[in-house]
Structure 1
Amino acid sequence: MRFIKIGAMVAALSGLSPLAHAANPETESAQRVPETLGYVEWMVIQDTSLRLKARLDTGAKTSSLHAVNIEAFEKDGEEWVNFQIPLGDHEDQPTEGELDHEDVILEFERPVERTVLIKRKGAPSQKRYVVVMDFCIAGTTHTTQFSLTDRSKFSYPALLGRRFMSDDNILIDSADGFLAERECEYMTLEELAKRHAANVVEAVDPD
């Protein structure tokens, strides 16, 4: 099994909100032509070329991303979080047949944007870390907040909520999926592993 560590190049942005660069985000959002997407679309995490199915859900405010082994740590006096995305949990990355999805686990580090407490019926409340990540959907790059949680039992490893939709003027067709007219660039499983080979922190023979 290969563990691939994705270096975080976002330290300089850790204190900024996703739309801090915009002089007037509300005006820009109002002027942007609405784009209609399906209830499920492909998304690509920008700094990894990792492709995932994302469910677009107007019932959720904050987006959510599948993650396991989530651990907080301190870096330069700030709170960061380390987490892994096992590609075998959903197997959305195209493959050339040389590797199994279960053989590759991506490891990420991100500054913590905030934490949220999720109340669950019949179960203890759950603390979740929220991080800011860049991703591509329908050929366009976006930035939004993702809460990190184990979504291995769900059909979709990512969920995109209302904060993303309202910030980027997205409309949802609840009757159909994969309506995006443009695609985002991504890599095959083998290309992704080769690209990050220099950052492999542990390799175990699957046999």
Structure 2
Amino acid sequence: MECMKESSPVATREHRLHTAGWREWVSLPELGIFRIKAKMDTGARTSCIHAFEVEPFEKDGTQWVRFRVHPEQNNVEHVVTCEAEVADFRAVTDSGGHREMRYVIKTQIEFKGMRWPAEFTLTNRDTMKFRMLVGRTTMNGRLVIDPSLSYQLSIEAEAL
């Protein structure tokens, strides 16, 4: 393993890089989601979150979207209803090569002691193991992933 030199551009960036595990508990406080397990996915460009009953609507002359989330895997009783302004509506290709039009929202993502704005696409992940993927764009300049670790920056890391 190589050590980072002090003169490295990564070492002198405004945001120091933090090591995250391949999975983390995170929070999306502006959406009212205070604990959701996320896979740190360096193969995905954009982050995504499990959403169902996605309904666009207009609010104060801008396009918004209302959607529901099951933040806990295998628990359909716990539902959080969210609203967010639409940042974009774009075609996304999933890991299986399937293209899908998805709403894109911007909201704050929070890891233990850190918070920053991030883009998320909304898609149904009912059959997936993780309700959320954190992609490269969200991690860039802030996180590095150690695939041998889990829950390094989790909101409740001590309790796990």
TM-score category (smaller protein):
0.7 to 0.9
Whether 1:68 aligns to 2:43 is: no
Give the structure 1 partner of residue 5 of structure 2: none
Deviation for aligned residue 1:71: 1.3
Code of the residue aligned with 1:127 in structure 2: it is M
Whether 1:106 aligns to 2:80 is: yes
Q: Using the alignment, how far apart are the partners of 1:71 and 1:42 within structure 2?
A: 27
Q: Alignment identity in percent?
A: 29
The number of aligned residues is 145
Q: If the length of structure 2 is used for normalisation, what is the TM-score?
A: 0.79
Q: Using the alignment, how far apart are the partners of 2:92 and 2:33 within structure 1?
A: 30
Give the structure 2 partner of residue 160 of structure 1: 134
Q: Is the 8 A contact 1:59 1:161 kept in 2?
A: yes
Structure with the bigger percentage of helix: 1
Deviation for aligned residue 1:50: 2.5
Runs of 5+ unmatched residues, structure 2: 1-9
Give the structure 2 partner of residue 53 of structure 1: 37
Q: If the length of structure 1 is used for normalisation, what is the TM-score?
A: 0.62
Give the structure 2 partner of residue 82 of structure 1: 66
Bigger CA radius of gyration = 1
Whether 1:33 aligns to 2:7 is: no
Residues 1-207 of structure 1 mapped to structure 2, 5 A cutoff? 30-47=13-30, 48-87=32-71, 90=73, 101-119=75-93, 125-166=99-140, 168-180=141-153, 183-184=154-155
Q: Using the alignment, how far apart are the partners of 2:132 and 2:93 within structure 1?
A: 20
Runs of 5+ unmatched residues, structure 1: 1-26, 92-100, 186-207
